[in-house]
Amino acid sequence: MKRTVLTPALSASALLLTMQAVHAGPQAHVVCSYSHTLGDDAIMMFGMPNEAMLHDFFGNVHADAYSSRESLRTQEKTTCDNKADSSAYWAPSLKLPDGTVVKPAYQKTYYQASNVDAWPLHSFPPGLSLLAGDHHGTAPNTHITFLCANGKGYTTRTGEVCGLRKAKDAVQFNIGIQFPNCWDGVNLKPAHGLANATYDTKGQCPSAFPVKIPTVNMNIAYVLPTISSLDTSKVQLSLDPIMHGSEREERWGSLYTAHADFMNGWTEDAARFMTDLCMNRGMDCGTAVPYGYSKAKANVWLSSMEPALSQPDPQVLLVQDNWKNGGRTKNSETLSLVKFNIPPLPVGQDPA
């Protein structure tokens, strides 16, 4: 049977994803290359440029001390491989044992969930900001992990000596940061001494933080081609500086001070699609989260062989004769039509 489906290309991924997604668990992901470094922190030190610890930024290229949900969406240029994500991600700069401050290569963030059948997800609210880790940390943290690419997997402890990765071209060291996934439903930003989110227990959120959101698992990769080994016990991360007027006196701490910040810049359509049509259905969407999508307003199904079964009412569908291959009676045709609003394009996107 020949089947013809007519849908605009922009929405095809949104409409057909449930048939194409790999059932590898509820998740989606983005990869964002390094963007820039600033002594800024728009969550905890908003409007105080160059007074925070040195942070490496990924994602939104305009992120700074003045960033907000509105600025991320109006200035949405991003280093991420999904243009629906203009979020700002940042983490403290890293210093090697020899004193060299190095830039990360990229970060890969998995958006994940567990036990969605019992406790389904809510999409990220516009303007949500999250923190993970402890910049005063002195001991292992179950939500912070370290990886030598040639080693035995992720660990919460420092001290492993990384060697050259499999390709023998560089040492690769990763830091994994897991963000809290239970929001209090009220505060879009944390404050000093006041968390706006916490972690679930086997997929269930506590009553004080009842809104379950996707878990942001951020993995920062440092690719170091100029060295052949790295003692992770001697690696340091930036701390808040001592300010002498406008001059900075840099301070550094151990890897146990690892932490990161996330400021949501996903389009509302994308955030909703990620939860409602991917993770709450137990699906792995990969990078196939659309910038925008629209639910069908109406649909029609027509059959040349069984017109009485056509929906919504019996219709007649004319089929082009194909006499060389059995004629009209052996060349049935089904036509599906879907009506929906065309979703918006990213800013600056050429409609052609």
Which pLDDT band holds residue 35 (cuts at 50, 70, 90)? very high
Read off the tokens for 16: 């057909």
Coil/strand/helix, residue 273:
helix
Alpha-carbon span 341 to 327, nearest angstrom? 38
Choose among 84, 129, 130: nearest CA to 285: 84
Render pLDDT for 103-159 as a digit per residue (tens, 0 to 9): 999 999 999 999 999 999 999 999 999 999 999 999 999 999 999 999 889 999 999
Render pLDDT for 255-267 as a digit per residue (tens, 0 to 9): 999 999 999 999 9
pLDDT of residue 230: 98
More confident residue, 284 or 16: 284
Alpha-carbon span 158 to 161, nearest angstrom? 9
Which residues face 88 on adjacent strands? Answer: 59, 263
Please check whether residue 278 is in contact with residue 285, taking contact to mean a CB–CB distance below 8 angstroms. yes
- Quick check: 22 pLDDT over 60? no
Which residues face 172 on adjacent strands? Answer: 223
Percent of the chain with pLDDT over 70: 83
Q: Which of 69-78, 88-97, 294-303 has the lowest mean pLDDT?
A: 294-303
Percent of the chain with pLDDT over 90: 74
Q: Count of residues for the chain?
A: 352
Domain boundaries, the chain: 1-20+291-352, 22-281
Mean pLDDT of the chain: 88
pLDDT of residue 19: 30
pLDDT of residue 297: 78
Render pLDDT for 61-77 as a digit per residue (tens, 0 to 9): 999 999 999 999 999 99
- Mean pLDDT along residues 184-190: 97
pLDDT of residue 345: 73
Alpha-carbon span 336 to 329, nearest angstrom? 20
Half-sphere exposure of 311 (CA within 13 A, CB side): 7
